[in-house]
Amino acid sequence: MKVQIAGPGCPRCQSTETAVREALAELNLDAEISKVTDYKDMAQLGVRLTPAVVIDGKIALSGRVPTTSEARELLQKK
């Protein structure tokens, strides 16, 4: 599984990454996590609002910070 956190690196983006990492740990899932901070790269992914969580190339959430519980649900759907 490939998870990308898209955003400029602001505190909201950091909180999103933390929630995703916590959810992955709770689910005992292994995933490649990367940050996408370049606006051109975000646009190529289709991200219009940040922070965004992109799972295996598909936008799972954008424009808000997920709770760990929400991140867990997003990851379980994949």
> For the segment 39-59, what is each residue's pLDDT rounded down to a tens digit?
999 999 999 999 999 999 999
Cite the active site residues.
10, 13
- pTM summary value: 0.93
Q: CA–CA distance from 78 to each of 12, 27, 29, 54, 57 (Å)?
A: 23, 12, 11, 11, 11
* Count of domains for the chain: 1
Could you list the residue range(s) of the whole structural domain that residue 11 is in? Answer: 2-76
Is the pLDDT confidence value at 4 over 80?
yes
Using an 8 Å Cβ cutoff, are 27 and 73 in contact?
no
User: CATH no. for residue 52?
Assistant: 3.40.30.10
